[in-house]
Amino acid sequence: MTEARRSEIYVGLMSGTSLDGVDVVILEFAEFPPDLLYCHTIPYDASLRDRLLMLCRSQTTSLDNLYSLDAELGETYAELVNSALVNTGLTRQVITAIGCHGQTIRHSPDSSTPYSVQIGDPNRIATLTGIATVADFRRKDIALGGQAAPLAPAFHRFLFRSDEEDRAVINIGGISNITYLPASLEQPVLGFDTGPGNTLLDYWIGRHRDRAYDENGTWARSGRVNAALLERMLTGEPYFQLNAPKSTGTEYFNPGWLEAFLDGEMEAADIQATLVELTVTTIARAITDLPSPPRNGYLCGGGAHNGYLLERLAQALPKCEFSTTAALGMDPDFVEAAAFAWLARERINLRDGNIPEVTRAQRASILGGVYAAG
């Protein structure tokens, strides 16, 4: 393996707002499109997930709890990288850097003093793997007046843009977001969070069926959409009326948010069906309002496996053909992790990682801090 080839291999780590686990990828960027050498999702163990959920949903916590979780996550991420290297036969010497998003515990871009916080100590990752680690991707964009989210649209532009057609990339994780990739280079790339994705669906089925998620949307399909509840949520939530750039998180769209809209006796399955419709409607409206609604939409994230949700989305947007990003050569489960491998590459090469039209930052900028190996 040549030195030039070694310099183009990066690891990406992503643990999203669904808190279901950590996605690990190893990407080789020597050619285009990049080669996905390894990809795997490792669920959080139940204890760690419960503690992270409590931290994310709590308005207060002790410093001991916060920083012990930060340290534990850093060590967990390092273990997963080391396991990935063993599984692939790669050595740490051939990896240029790790890009670690970290676990978001609070995202508040519109407060009087905006901030976005991710934990997972990159010093521990760099020390325990012996590989330079790039982390803290969001706070520079916030310092420039941006939302710090979504950041994946820059990677979507790199990997998925076409000269022949306008495209939408739709990521349905805990929160849903879209990226608009116009064919014309004269039109800006757009991207923003549309609202809840899986976060409320996972909460509701966990509460009533003791399951982590609604596999293929089967439970939601068994219910009926409650039109009155849907209308209350759509009209009563100011976020849905905001113009982009905008971003949000599960600290906003959470169980308390949902409970505030529930009124009277409703079947639990009907509420699940209505939550699917909320996700679908907010995505569909966002796509319809794009400068030139694309004819092709490419899905990624956990929601790409929810057959009922995808059926409803296709019915809501009959002029748009939907497939997953697999049609463009990237596994839909690992687009976000791949994005942070790419963002690490951009940081190492001193290239801008954000898109001001997406985040509202004053200018494009290099993102992330580099934590030296060893």
* Contact call for residues 127 and 311 (beta carbons, < 8 A): no
- Name the β-bridge partners of 186: none
Dist CA 146 CA 242 (whole Å): 15
What digits encode the pLDDT tens for the residues 233-278? 999 999 999 999 999 988 899 999 999 999 888 999 999 999 999 9
Reported as a pLDDT band with limits 50, 70 and 90, residue 374 is confident
Which residues in 80-101 are b (16+ Cβ under 10 Å) and which e?
bbeebbeeeebebebbbbbbbb
Q: Across residues 181-201, what is the average pLDDT?
A: 96
Q: Which domains does the chain have, with CATH numbers?
A: 3-148+335-371 (3.30.420.40), 152-328 (3.30.420.40)
Report percent pLDDT > 70 for the chain. Answer: 98
Dist CA 355 CA 191 (whole Å): 9
Residue 56 has pLDDT above 90, yes or no: no
Give the residue among 358, 353, 361, 356 at the shortest CA–CA distance from 369: 353
Reported as a pLDDT band with limits 50, 70 and 90, residue 53 is confident
Q: Across residues 52-59, what is the average pLDDT?
A: 85
Reported as a pLDDT band with limits 50, 70 and 90, residue 5 is very low
Dist CA 128 CA 271 (whole Å): 45
Q: What is the pTM of this model?
A: 0.94
Residue 236 CB neighbours (<10 A)? 10
Dist CA 139 CA 151 (whole Å): 12
Between CA 24 and CA 71, with CA 88 as vertex, the angle to 5 degrees is 40
pLDDT at 20: 85
What string of DSSP letters covers 203-244?
HHHHHHH--SS-GGGHHHHHS---HHHHHHHHHH-GGGGPPS
Dist CA 24 CA 56 (whole Å): 22
Residue 3 has pLDDT above 70, yes or no: no
Report percent pLDDT > 90 for the chain. Answer: 91
The amino acid sitting at 343 is L
Give the residue among 365, 366, 356 at the shortest CA–CA distance from 147: 356
* Contact call for residues 15 and 69 (beta carbons, < 8 A): no
Q: Return mean pLDDT, the chain.
A: 95
| Residue written as token pair 């939302």 | 147
Beta strand residue intervals within the chain, DSSP E: 9-15, 21-28, 35-43, 97-108, 115-119, 133-135, 167-172, 175-181, 190-196, 296-300, 321-324, 369-371
Residue 103 has pLDDT above 60, yes or no: yes
What digits encode the pLDDT tens for the residues 83-93? 999 999 999 99
Dist CA 205 CA 190 (whole Å): 33
